[in-house]
Amino acid sequence: MKKYLAALSTTALICVAPHALAASSTDLTVTGSITPGACTPALSSGGIVDYGKISAKDLDPVKDTWLSRQPLQLTVSCEASTRFALQSLDNKAGTATNDEYFGIGLTPANEKIGMLDVSINSTLADAQQAQAIGSKDGGATWKKQNYIDPLSLSSVAAASDHSTPIPVKDLAMELQVAVGIAGANSLTLTDEVSLEGSVTIQVKYL
């Protein structure tokens, strides 16, 4: 995705340049950096959490019904110690009943089914206890954050200093995934409704 955006920006600059008739020349600047080692993220159980069949009669008519939390392990393995963040993309964006969570899809009647919550129980950086941190301003500032959401970057810091991401070779996070289903009175449940939460976690080098 980043390569595509970079190529698109360069093409736009080259196409626009001939129209800038006020100057006899223009500059094209290319920037970037080569990271010391690529990092690969992975989720246990193939990243799949299956709640099976849920009876509509078990849902609260008004309040959110939270299903049991399910454990997943997120690992990131790098070829060398690297500073990075995790960016979580909501593949069901716009379907969550609360924008601070991930969506889980719509009913056939186009109603928001609920939301997906991902919390971080523990963090190990190169087998040492560390602190999960988050940034809501693109990485300019960081603070302690024990959850993953679509509005922020996630990274890891030393247990004694939560303000700066540290370079890591092997990261392991114990996650807890939970689904909240909206009040049954707000949903059309005459037919079977599928929960379709989908999140892509990608590495962003810092």
| Span 132-156, average pLDDT | 96
- Alpha-carbon gap, residue 10 to 186, rounded angstroms: 47
- Alpha-carbon gap, residue 94 to 112, rounded angstroms: 9
- pLDDT over 70 (residue 145): yes
Residue 111, domain member (yes or no): yes
What is the total count of domains within the chain?
A: 1
pLDDT of amino acid 22:
54
- Alpha-carbon gap, residue 87 to 45, rounded angstroms: 20
Residue 16, domain member (yes or no): no
| Span 120-130, average pLDDT | 97
- pLDDT over 60 (residue 135): yes
Cβ contacts of 78 within 8 Å, gap of 6 or more: 37, 38, 39, 40, 84, 168, 169, 170
- Alpha-carbon gap, residue 150 to 118, rounded angstroms: 10
Give the model's confidence band at 13: pLDDT under 50 very low, under 70 low, under 90 confident, else very high.
very low
Residue 60, domain member (yes or no): yes
Cβ contacts of 57 within 8 Å, gap of 6 or more: none
- Structural element, H or E, at residue 79: strand 70-82
- Alpha-carbon gap, residue 169 to 37, rounded angstroms: 9
- pLDDT over 80 (residue 27): no
What is the pTM (predicted TM-score) of this model? 0.81
Q: What percent of the chain has pLDDT over 70?
A: 82
Contact 164, 157 (CB under 8 A): yes
The domain that holds 83 is classified in CATH as 2.60.40.1090
Residue 14, domain member (yes or no): no
Token digits of residue 170? 């092997």
Residue 71, domain member (yes or no): yes
Q: What is the domain extent for residue 162? A: 36-205
148-198: pLDDT as tens digits: 999 999 999 999 999 999 999 999 999 999 999 999 999 999 999 988 999
- Alpha-carbon gap, residue 206 to 141, rounded angstroms: 13
Token digits of residue 129? 């206890």
- Alpha-carbon gap, residue 195 to 157, rounded angstroms: 34
Q: Is the dihedral of CA 11, 13, 16, 21 positive or negative?
A: negative
- pLDDT over 50 (residue 2): no
- Structural element, H or E, at residue 10: helix 2-16
Contact 113, 104 (CB under 8 A): yes
Token digits of residue 79? 């070829």
Residue 27, domain member (yes or no): no
Give the model's confidence band at 125: pLDDT under 50 very low, under 70 low, under 90 confident, else very high.
very high
- pLDDT over 80 (residue 4): no
Q: Find, among 142, 132, 190, 144, the residue nearest to 164 by Cα.
A: 142
86-110: pLDDT as tens digits: 999 999 999 999 999 999 999 999 9
Residue 182, domain member (yes or no): yes
